[in-house]
Structure 1
Amino acid sequence: MFQHILLPTDGSDASLAAARSCMRFAAQIGARVTAVHVVPPLHLFTYEPVVTEQVHETYRRNRDARAQEFLVPIAQMAQEASVACNIMLAEADEPYEAIIRTARDQMCDLIVMASHGRKGVRAMLIGSQTQRVLTHSTIPVLVCR
């Protein structure tokens, strides 16, 4: 059975619902969970290196604080469910790539993700990271709606 679950989160209500389902499932099967939040890297071009360093540092602080807002509640859910859980931040231009890479690097044997249920034009414009993970991952993916 599954021993290590990757749980990506974007902080949405759908992600929190998936996290609750994931924790119940992990508790039932005795699996541990790694929760990950993916953020885009900062791409900044300037001729002033000092400005770049300051902007990057501010970006890192804000990024880390926001990630903690999303990840700490998941760690608390895990603790309440008596599930071993670690939290991490990943950086990538394409979140689905970071999710798959993190699952592989952390030796996860299942990815549990939320589906936002977007359809039609909205799905085409915004895209679906869940769909991309489903398409590209060799690791099983459980989608929570």
Structure 2
Amino acid sequence: MFKHVLIPTDGSPLSTSALEKALDFAHEIGAEATVLVVMEPLQVFTLNPTGMEVAYAEYDRQNNEAADGILADAKEAAKQRLVACGTVKLGSVDPASAVIETAGTYNCDVIAMASHGRSGFKAFMLGSVTMKVLAHSKTPVLVYR
């Protein structure tokens, strides 16, 4: 059946729960896993960009640090479940496309992800990454609630 599971996560509680369930699933079926974190760049609209380099650099530093922590925790969770697991960290303004492309690049035959990560107004304005993956992926998608 499935041999390679792609597990996108953003570190949110629901996403972390989905990660754990997906790793359990991978263990049950004897599949390997790849955990993906997609870092969205800071997008600031201003008429005066002077001094923004420092803000961008600090945002990138914090974003990378958070992603590294999420991936380290995922690697440990996979190890505890005896699941062979790789990790991928990408930057993209379109996380859904990054998920779909990563599934193809790493020859994943299923994507397992949370039903949503963001909440409130931000999710309404940006749309659900999961919904976009469901709509555009040729790879089957397993959604955890």
TM-score interval for Structure 1 and Structure 2 normalised by the shorter chain: 0.7 to 0.9
Q: Which residue of 2 aligns with 1:131?
A: 131
Q: Percent identity?
A: 39
TM-score, length-normalised on structure 2? 0.83
- Residues 106, 118 of structure 1: alpha-carbon distance in 2 compared, 3 angstrom cutoff: closer
Q: Contact (CA 8 Å) 2:116, 2:129: kept in 1 or not? A: no
Aligned-pair CA distance for 1:125: 2.9
> What is the rounded CA distance, in whole Å, between the counterparts of 2:56 and 2:117 in structure 1?
34
> What is the rounded CA distance, in whole Å, between the counterparts of 1:119 and 1:15 in structure 2?
12
1:79 aligned counterpart, secondary structure: helix
Q: Which residue of 2 aligns with 1:97?
A: 97
1:4 and 2:4 are equivalent in the alignment: yes
Aligned-pair CA distance for 1:118: 8.4
1:39 and 2:39 are equivalent in the alignment: yes
| RMSD over equivalenced CA pairs, Å | 2.9
Q: Which moved more, 1:84-93 or 1:60-69?
A: 60-69
Aligned-pair CA distance for 1:63: 2.1
> What is the rounded CA distance, in whole Å, between the counterparts of 1:115 and 1:72 in structure 2?
22
Q: Which moved more, 1:63-72 or 1:8-17?
A: 63-72
> What is the rounded CA distance, in whole Å, between the counterparts of 1:12 and 1:69 in structure 2?
12
1:19 maps to a residue whose letter is L
Q: Which residue of 2 aligns with 1:20?
A: 20
> What is the rounded CA distance, in whole Å, between the counterparts of 1:74 and 1:5 in structure 2?
13
> What is the rounded CA distance, in whole Å, between the counterparts of 1:11 and 1:118 in structure 2?
11
Aligned length: 142
> What is the rounded CA distance, in whole Å, between the counterparts of 1:66 and 1:117 in structure 2?
15
Aligned-pair CA distance for 1:131: 0.4
Aligned-pair CA distance for 1:86: 1.1
2:82 maps to a residue whose letter is S
1:66 and 2:83 are equivalent in the alignment: no
Runs of at least 5 residues in structure 1 that lack an aligned partner in the other structure:
none
